[in-house]
């Protein structure tokens, strides 16, 4: 009889293990943490005779059950943690684990090595149109500047994993855009080269090891450069980003988005980040030009930290030239603006400045049709 006790305990244990996910799915006994990243769970499906006979019901139901069984997020984190611990691998298709705890998006390394190079002729054709737009805006009394956001591949080239060697090709989109843009006289601020030059020489961290984008501190450095450029171009005095002290703390979510998307049980070690406490200035003595910020996700750090309203009275953020945010959208007064149903050209004509900001992997699609559409507006075909 006593010999059967361990067997019964083992049997009960296995029953509990088997039933626990079903009980959790039905009654939500434990609050499991959500998964981060671009994750879409399959919806449930209603039973129909037609769906049963053609097999679509079974297929969709299988997807739903696979995405919704109890403790699924916990099992996913456990699996990810084992893979990272044993194989130094992140189960995120676009994430590359580098040396010294540096995570990369694969596209940044590919751009650095010239794998996505589109060629000088295509780049020149796009930039010639951009130069024509810049010249027209200048004649209209407006200011244009193109900003190169920093790339982690250029900032941490020595931390590439061994299976992705550092090629440092001369034929990269970034180097060609920079060179051809200079030759055409396009107004440019190169935060990529500037950040590499400042690496290790600033009080705060400029680029996060565990994120895609610049840190809040790095974004403030870039925003201050934009302000200085616009001030000189328009002969005005704008609000600055001034501080006397800063506090050290854990990184904000947007600064370690690659770590969050890895969905580990024990996150990769994070550095301490410096967060300046900005001083208030007397805005009545400063000029806040009306500005449009057009670009990619690097601009979200500006939006999340109120950089745009700090330097611009009437600002708009055109995200990939698809959606737009302004002060009313940010405060919840109106929904996000669909630029496809918006008179963006009229808004452009009402603004003082256009700041276009893109990171290196996104340079081939710079403007996201804005350059072509604005060029056609200014220089319509006869």
Residue 366's φ and ψ, nearest 5 degrees, are -50, 130
- pLDDT given for residue 338 in this prediction: 95
Cα–Cα distances (Å) from 65 to 14, 23, 205, 260, in that order, read 21, 14, 43, 25
Cβ atoms of 150 and 141 closer than 8 Å: no
Nearest residue to 177 via CA among 161, 165, 167, 189: 189
- pLDDT given for residue 12 in this prediction: 63
- pLDDT given for residue 367 in this prediction: 94
Residues of the chain with pLDDT under 70: 1-5, 7-8, 10-42, 44, 57, 60-80, 87, 168, 269, 280, 282
Domain edges within the chain: 1-31, 41-68, 97-378
- pLDDT given for residue 71 in this prediction: 57
SS (H, E, C) the chain: CCCHHHHHHHHHHHHHHHHHHHHHHHHCCCCCCCCCCCCCCCCCCCCCHHHHHHCHHHHHHHHHHHHHCCCHHHHHHHHHHHHHHHHCCCCCCCEEECHHHCEEEHHHHHHHCCCCCCCHHHHHHHHHHHHHHHHHHHHCCCEEEEEECCCHHHHCHHHCCCCCCCCCCCCCHHHHHHHHHHHHCCCEEEHHHHHHHHCCCCCCCCECCCCCCECHHHHHHHHHHHHHHHHHHHCCCCCCCCEEEEEEECCCHHHCHHHHHHCCCCCCCCCCEEEEEECCCCHHHCCCCCEEEEECHHHHHHHHCCHHHHHCCCEEEEECCCEEEEHHHHCCCCCCEEHHHCCHHHHHHHCCEEEEEECHHHHHHCCCCHHHHHHHHHCCCC
- pLDDT given for residue 124 in this prediction: 98
- pLDDT given for residue 263 in this prediction: 73
- pLDDT given for residue 279 in this prediction: 75
pTM given for the model: 0.84
Cβ atoms of 81 and 90 closer than 8 Å: no
- pLDDT given for residue 231 in this prediction: 97
- pLDDT given for residue 110 in this prediction: 94
Q: How many angstroms separate the CA atoms of 65 and 43, rounded?
A: 9
Q: How many angstroms separate the CA atoms of 40 and 58, rounded?
A: 19
CB atoms within 10 A of CB 151: 27
């Amino acid at each position: 009889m006593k010999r059967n006790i361990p067997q019964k305990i083992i049997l009960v244990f296995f029953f509990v293990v088997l039933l626990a996910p079903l009980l959790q799915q039905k009654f939500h006994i434990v609050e499991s943490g959500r998964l981060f990243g671009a994750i879409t769970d399959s919806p449930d499906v209603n039973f129909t005779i037609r769906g049963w006979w053609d097999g679509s019901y079974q297929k969709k139901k299988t997807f739903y059950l696979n995405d919704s069984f109890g403790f699924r997020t916990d099992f996913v984190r456990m699996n990810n943690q084992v893979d990272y611990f044993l194989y130094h691998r992140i189960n995120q298709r676009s994430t590359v684990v580098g040396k010294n705890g540096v995570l990369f998006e694969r596209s940044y390394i590919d751009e650095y090595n010239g794998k996505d190079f589109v060629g000088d002729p295509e780049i020149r054709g796009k930039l010639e149109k951009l130069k024509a737009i810049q010249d027209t805006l200048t004649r209209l009394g407006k200011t244009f500047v193109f900003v190169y956001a920093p790339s982690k591949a250029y900032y941490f080239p020595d931390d590439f994993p061994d299976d992705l060697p550092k090629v440092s090709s001369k034929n990269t989109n970034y180097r060609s855009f920079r060179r051809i843009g200079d030759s055409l006289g396009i107004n440019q601020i190169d935060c990529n080269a500037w950040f590499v030059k400042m690496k290790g020489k600033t009080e705060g961290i400029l680029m996060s090891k565990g994120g895609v984008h610049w840190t809040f501190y790095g974004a403030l450095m870039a925003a201050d450069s934009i302000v200085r450029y616009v001030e000189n171009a328009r002969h005005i005095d704008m609000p600055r980003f001034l501080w006397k002290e800063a506090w050290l703390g854990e990184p904000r979510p947007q600064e370690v988005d690659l770590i969050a998307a890895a969905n580990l049980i024990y996150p990769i070690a994070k550095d301490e980040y410096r967060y300046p406490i900005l001083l208030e200035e007397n805005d009545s003595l400063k000029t806040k030009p009306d500005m449009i910020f057009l670009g990619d996700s690097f601009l979200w750090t500006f939006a999340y930290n109120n950089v745009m309203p700090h330097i611009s009275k009437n600002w708009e953020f055109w995200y990939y030239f698809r959606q737009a945010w302004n002060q009313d959208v940010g405060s919840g007064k109106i929904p996000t603006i669909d630029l496809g149903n918006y008179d963006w050209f009229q808004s452009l004509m009402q603004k003082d400045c256009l700041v276009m900001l893109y990171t290196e992997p996104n340079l081939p699609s710079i403007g996201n049709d804005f350059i072509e559409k604005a060029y056609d507006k200014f220089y319509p075909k006869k």
